[in-house]
Structure 1
Amino acid sequence: MIQSGAETIEPIAIKRQGLHPFDRKFIEWSAARRDLPFVLALHRATGWPIHVIALHVGRHHEVQTYYVMDDRGRVLAPNGIMGHGPFSFTWFQDIRASHSAKIRSMPDPGELPDPLEARNTLEIIPLPDIAEAAVVYSAFPEKALIADLGRGGILAGVESEVIAAALGLIRNRPFTDEAGKRLKPRVESDDLNVFTRKRCMAFSEALLARPDRAGLRGCILAEPEFFERSPLTAAGFHSAVFHPDGEIEDAWGKRTPSSAAQLFGMKRWVLSADAYASVRDDFIRSFDGTPGFYERRLSEATRLIEREWSR
């Protein structure tokens, strides 16, 4: 075992205000615009990826809000910086209130969708009593969003409002200091989320294959129980590359194990390099029934690293 630690994870509960909120007038101004100008200004200032919450009914979808999330799983929003669980639960409550005639009960908080498991297609969690309806949230492809500027799409005419939101960020210095900046490389949100969950093993293997990572070891980050049972039947794990300074490297770049543990909601965690080889082998064998699946994921990770890590 290399490292272990414990994190304070905010419980899922209604929480309307986080750290360093903006004033009520700004919050209301931003909410009327689905927080889009604020999110664009914040993304440009910090580099943290953009996400979206939407309500789907059949083929129709309505964006409820845009938001920004950092590498610790915290949502950066006008009402402050808070854990993703409380933020999501609050939005579920808001959506229930606005559709109270049709929704009589809420999903169990443990069933809240995971923003790290989506790419282009959205993860869907059904809401009771609405036929073919769902609340969804996912990574929002940043390239598509930014490219839409000035093309008559959702961003047409909002540039002046983005400037107003940027001025608001400047005035709330405690918020911007707490939000920090995302270091390079900056993998875009849709690819980032894919290789943070489920395909992280392919990503770590692709990183280890780089000549400039020669001599480094892979590592497994998981809750302690993971190492006490059969790895692939226990709770989830995250694979990464371990550096001599104690930090890890994954799709988010180089960062502390603590930040990754917070992102995955791990209250207690262990980081082990010794377990990496056996977990990797078990993981690859789990795809034996789908020939070429792991190899394709490895190839995707390799191309992404070559494109982003060389910048």
Structure 2
Amino acid sequence: MSSHGKPLSPGALAPGNLPTTASAPRFTSARWRLRLKGLALPVLVILLLELVVRLGWLPSYQMPAPSEIALTLGELAEGALWKHIGASLLRVLLGFAIGAGLALAFAAWVGLSREAEAYLEPTFAGLRSIPSLAWVPLLLLWLGIDESSKVVLIAIGAFFPVYLNGVAAIRNIDRKLVEVGHMYGFGRWRLVRRILLPAALPGLFTGLRSGLSLAWMFLVAAELIAATRGLGYLLSDGRETSRPDIVLAAIIVLAVLGKLSDGLLAALEQRCLAWRDTFSGQTPRSEP
């Protein structure tokens, strides 16, 4: 009912016709405050390092001042830095796409079939325990030192976190939801599309974000061994030329790229899971 006692039409309840409140601007300002708080620790560490190095408490040949690292980043940006970033980004994107795609397919198969789990899980458990560097000599023997060996190594790194979280997400779905689907006569594929997939999405996104972070780690392992360009090669070049500023600059670029790529996945997760009403980390204030 309206304030005049007249019934509301269905169109009046459409999102565009709802009364606006100040909650949206308040939410936006709160998000920006949280982001500014996230910058507090890095800024504090930078200031402390600058002070410690300038006072001579740390030798600059081991730990350059942040201002020197910034100058090195500027010099690299005018030269080959973008070539290295482009090469590393392409390898990570290809490796992550291959590894995560295969992991999602196998996770769906194993999660929905006990038979598949019996055949595949023991082998995957053994492969999962192999360290990343143990794959390098084998891939070099099989695929050589070109791009394929690096992409495959990154795909291996991305595969297992996505696979594990995908299987766990499917198996942790409430059984009552599946029973409700059967009661409504859902077939197998309709059950997957309408119930299993939405319920498993939070765990799947957790796996994707974990797999992406491991893809960046495996990228460095691949480029440290056999590469002529890339951020891992830049790390190796800085070590061989005794330039800790180049090493730290490459580490900073890797951290920034990793944070940006994870932020993109986090934004996609928030968009796809906007329908959830979950705990946000802030407990409600108790009334007096």
* Structure having the larger proportion of residues in helix: 2
* Structure having the larger proportion of residues in strand: 1
Task: Say which one has the larger Rg.
Answer: 2
TM-score range for the pair, normalised by the shorter chain length: under 0.3
TM-score by length of 1: 0.22
